Structure 1
Amino acid sequence: MSSVNTAIQLITREQAEKGAAAKGSTCSPALAKGPWDYDLAEALAGVPAYGPGASSADPAPAGTPRQGQLPEEYKRASDAELGERIRAAKAALGERAVILGHFYQRDEVIQYADFVGDSFQLANAALTRPEAEAIIFCGVHFMAETADILSTLDQAVILPNLAAGCSMADMADADSVEECWEQLAEIFGAEPDAEGRVPVIPVTYMNSSAALKAFCGEHGGIVCTSSNAKTVLEWAFQRGQRVLFFPDQHLGRNTAKALGVPLDQMPMWNPRKDLGGNDEQALLDSRVILWHGFCSVHKRFSVAQIDKARADFPGVQVIVHPECPMEVVDAADSAGSTDFIKKAIAAATEPTTFAIGTEINMVNRLAAEYPQHTIFCLDPVICPCSTMYRIHPGYLAWVLEELVAGRVVNRITVDHNVQANARTALERMLAARP
C-alpha cells in the first residue's frame, strides 16, 4: 500500500490531468506541496496558519509558532538523498539522539523513528534513553513540551518544524481558562461539601499546552489521555463536585456519558460568551463543564460514513477514536485511543473487515501491517492532520545534520515554574491507572 503522501501526489496529478474523472479525492491539493511552501506563505502574509489538511479552516492564534525558512538544499533533495543523509546523521550521532514518531506522522518520517506511539507513550519512551542528548519529536508542539517536562535538564527536545502545532490544543488558552475559573469561583465559591469535595476540579487532555497542564497542577487538577480518561474522571469526581474538562468537548462528553452522567448535566463553556453561554443554574446543576474545543481530524467522521461502511461490508467492525462526536461513537462498535485501536486489530484472530475512524496515516499503516484484514478509513477523503503533515524528511535531515555539526535548532523549552506544576498534574495522571 502506498503512503498517504504518495496517494495525495497521485490524486493531485490525476485531478490536474483528468479533472472530475480522477479517482480518489483529497481535501486540499496544496497537501502535495512541500511544507516549506506554507512556511513561506505565512512569513509573507505575517499571519500564522495550520496549513492544508483537516485543520485548514481553524483560525490560528496570533502567537502560534512559525517556522523559519528551511535551507534550499533540503528542499531540492530527492527522497533518496534525504534518506541517505538522515541515516548518515543518525549513525554519526548514535545514542546521543533519539527520534520519536507519532502514530499520525507520515510514513516518510516514521521509517526513521526509534519509537512509534501516541504522545504520552513517546514522552515515556524518551525516558528510556537517558544517554540521549537530543530528543527529536516528530509530532506536534504540545507533545514536545511534554517531553521537555519529563526529560532531564541536560536533554534538548527538538521539534523539526516549529509550525507543527495543534488546533485543538490552541482552542483553550491560559488566559481564557483563567477567566473561566474566576467566573466559576464566583458562582460555586471555594468551600468543599460535606464529603470534602471541592466545587470543581480542572482536567486537561494531554492535547493541551504546558501552561494548561500547569494550571491543573496548581489547582488540584490532573491530565488525562484518551486511554485513561474514564479513570481520571472517576479520580476527579472523588475529589470534586464537578469537573471542568478542556480542551476537547467530545472526549469529555463521551467519557462522562459512559460513566452515567446525563447530557443535561454537561453544559458547554464557550470562552467567547459571558458565563460560557450558560445561566448560573445550569452551571450549578452541572457535573462536567465541557470546553468548546474539538479535533478537526475526528470531527470529519459521521454516522453516514458508518452506515455506508455497514452497507458495503456486512459484518464490518467499526472502531473510532473518542475524539469523534458522540453520535459517531454511539454508532460505532467500539471506541478507544490510538493504542486501543491498534491492539483491537492485533487481537483479531480471523480475517476481519475494519472501518476505522482516526487519522489516515495510522489507518493506512495498520492496513499494511495486517494484510490478513481489510482495513480502511471511514472518511473516503484523504485529509491528514494539517500540523503533523508539516513534519517532512527535509526538516528531519536538517535538525539531525545541525546536531552533527554541534548546533541545536528548533529546541522546545518549558519555563521551570511551569514545568513544576505541569509535572504535578502529569504525575497525578500516572498514578491514576485504569
Structure 2
Amino acid sequence: MALRATGRSTCDPSLPQAPWAIDRQPGYGPGASTIDRAPVDAPRQGPLPERYTSATDAELDSWISAARETLGPRVRILGHFYQRDEIVRYADFVGDSFMLAQAAKGSPEAEAFVFCGVHFMAETADILSGADQAVILPNLAAGCSMADMATIDQVEACWRELMAALGETGADGRQSVIPVTYMNSSAAIKAFCGRNGGIVCTSSNARTVLEWAFERGQRVVFFPDQHLGRNTARAMGVDERQMPLWRPHLPLGGNTEQQLRDARVILWNGFCSVHKRFTVAQIEQARADHPGVRVIVHPECPAEVVDAADGAGSTEYIRQEVERAAPGSVIAVGTEINLVNRLQQQRPDVTIFCLDPVVCPCSTMYRIHPAYLAWTLESLLAGATPNRITVPAGVADASRVALERMLAAKP
C-alpha cells in the first residue's frame, strides 16, 4: 500500500509489511509511538494458515468476493474510515466508530458483523447489536493505545479517591462528579459510567454530552483522551485552570484537594498517538507552502494545534468539509493518513494533504489485512465463528445504559 503525505515516506519502513509477521510480538507494532506500552494481557492473534499468508492480492480478492457473494446479507462487513483501502473496498458500511455501531444496531437481519476496526469498536457493536448476532474482529491484535491508557482498575481507584475528597453529592444536591468516557474506551469503562450516572461521548457530540453532564453534576471526570475533553470544554468557556490533569499513578492524580474542588473538568492523562503528532509548526509550514490553505484538524489534537487551525471537528466533520470545498481549494488535514488519502482520491479537483510530513498511520487499524478478512469470511462459510467479541452480560447491560444516553444526546 502506498502511504503518502506531501510526497514523503512513512514513519516506519516496516509498517507496510504483512501484519502476521508482528502479531504475536508484544506492543502495538511498527508505526506506533515508542512511548506507548501495550498491556501485558493485550489479545494476541494466532497464526494464520499458510494458504492466506502466501496468497497473492488477486487470490485474496477472489476468495473475499466469492465468500461475500455466498454469505449475502447474513454477514455485514463494517469498515472504519481509518482502514486501508484494500479493506474499505469490501465494506458494506464505512464510517467512524459511532456510525458503525449504529449500523450494527440498525441491521437486525444480519447474523454476523465482521468489524474491520479495533477492539473497543467491536465491543460497542456487540453491546448494541442483538444477542443472536455475532461480532467478529478479523485480527485480535487490532487494539487501541488510547483506550489502553485507562484501565478499569485505574478508573475505579480514581473514583474512590474523588469520592473521598469531594463526597458523592454537593451542597446543591447534584452529583459531585459525573463520569464521561470517550467512545475510545473499553466496555468495562463504559459500564462504569453507566453504573455511576455517567455517559459516553463521541467527537461529534462531546459538547452536548458535557452540557448534559453539567446539568446533573458539579464537575466531570473525562477519560481517556485529555485533548478532546480540553478542546471541548475550552470551546464552552471553561477556564483551563479549572481543568486539572489526572495522572493515574499519583495520589489524587497529582492534584491537591482544592484543585479538584475548583475543577469543572478533570482530564485523564491519555491521548491518541497519531493525533498528538500534529504541531503548530506543521500548520505554519503548510501556510507558508500553500498561501490560502484551509487547515482542519481532529479535536484529539493538542489545544494549540486546534487554536492554530481554521476548523476542528470529528472525522465526519472533516469529510463534510472536504465534500463542500470549492474546486481548486487547498486543504491541509490533521488526522489519520488513510482517510486523508481517500479524501484526495474522492476530490481530485481539490488539493488535500496531511499536515504531518512523516506519516504515521494508526498502527493497530493497520493490522486488518485482506488475508485476515479472507480467513474470517471463509471460516464463516465453513460454519466456524473465529475471533468472536463477546461482552459479558453484566458489563454489556451497564454499558448500554451509558451508550443509550449518548445516543439521546444529539448535537
Name the TM-score class by shorter chain.
Answer: over 0.9
Aligned to 1:407: 384
Tell me how far 1:129 sits from its aligned partner: 2.1
TM-score with structure 1 length normalisation? 0.93
Asked if residue 375 in structure 1 is aligned to residue 352 in structure 2, the reply is yes
Residues 49, 56 of structure 1: 8 Å contact kept: no
Residues 246, 255 of structure 2: 8 Å contact kept: yes
Q: Separation in 1 of the partners of 2:140 and 2:407?
A: 28
Q: 1:347 and 1:193, CA in 2 relative to 1: closer, same or farther beyond 3 A? A: farther
Tell me how far 1:280 sits from its aligned partner: 1.0
Going by fraction, where is helix more abundant, 1 or 2?
A: 1
Q: Separation in 1 of the partners of 2:196 and 2:62?
A: 49
Asked if residue 397 in structure 1 is aligned to residue 393 in structure 2, the reply is no
Tell me how far 1:253 sits from its aligned partner: 0.3
Aligned to 1:252: 229
Asked if residue 60 in structure 1 is aligned to residue 38 in structure 2, the reply is yes
Aligned to 2:175: 198
Q: Secondary structure at the match of 1:39?
A: coil
Aligned to 2:145: 167
Tell me how far 1:56 sits from its aligned partner: 4.7
Q: Separation in 2 of the partners of 1:133 and 1:331?
A: 46
Unaligned runs of 5+ in 1: 12-22, 43-47
Asked if residue 157 in structure 1 is aligned to residue 135 in structure 2, the reply is yes
Q: Separation in 1 of the partners of 2:235 and 2:341?
A: 29
Q: Separation in 2 of the partners of 1:259 and 1:32?
A: 41
Tell me how far 1:130 sits from its aligned partner: 1.2
Aligned to 2:107: 129
Q: Separation in 2 of the partners of 1:171 and 1:317?
A: 32
Residues 3, 337 of structure 2: 8 Å contact kept: no
Q: Secondary structure at the match of 2:221?
A: strand
Residues 319, 332 of structure 1: 8 Å contact kept: yes
Aligned to 1:6: 2
| Superposed counterparts of 1:106-125, under 5 Å | 106-125=84-103
Q: Separation in 2 of the partners of 1:331 and 1:267?
A: 23
Asked if residue 417 in structure 1 is aligned to residue 401 in structure 2, the reply is no
| Superposed counterparts of 1:128-277, under 5 Å | 128-194=106-172, 196-277=173-254
Aligned to 2:406: 429
Residue deviations 1:357-400, cap 9 Å, x none? 00000000000001111000000112100100000000000000
Residues 55, 167 of structure 1: 8 Å contact kept: no
Aligned to 1:15: none
- Provide the alpha-carbon RMSD of the alignment: 1.2
Q: Which runs of 4+ in 1 moved over 6 A?
A: none
Tell me how far 1:193 sits from its aligned partner: 3.0
Give 2:11's aligned amino acid: C
Give 2:93's aligned amino acid: F
Q: Separation in 2 of the partners of 1:157 and 1:231?
A: 29
Give 1:394's aligned amino acid: A
Identify the match of residue 31 of structure 1 among 15, 29, 32.
Answer: 15
Identify the match of residue 306 of structure 1 among 283, 292, 315.
Answer: 283
Aligned to 1:333: 310
Unaligned runs of 5+ in 2: none
Q: Separation in 2 of the partners of 1:117 and 1:55?
A: 25
Q: Secondary structure at the match of 2:14?
A: helix
Residue deviations 1:43-83, cap 9 Å, x none? xxxxx311111345410011111100011111100111100
Identify the match of residue 285 of structure 1 among 262, 267, 279.
Answer: 262
Q: 1:209 and 1:402, CA in 2 relative to 1: closer, same or farther beyond 3 A? A: same
Tell me how far 1:308 sits from its aligned partner: 0.3
Give 2:298's aligned amino acid: H
Give 1:115's aligned amino acid: F
TM-score with structure 2 length normalisation? 0.98
Q: Separation in 2 of the partners of 1:267 and 1:383?
A: 29
Residues 99, 113 of structure 1: 8 Å contact kept: yes
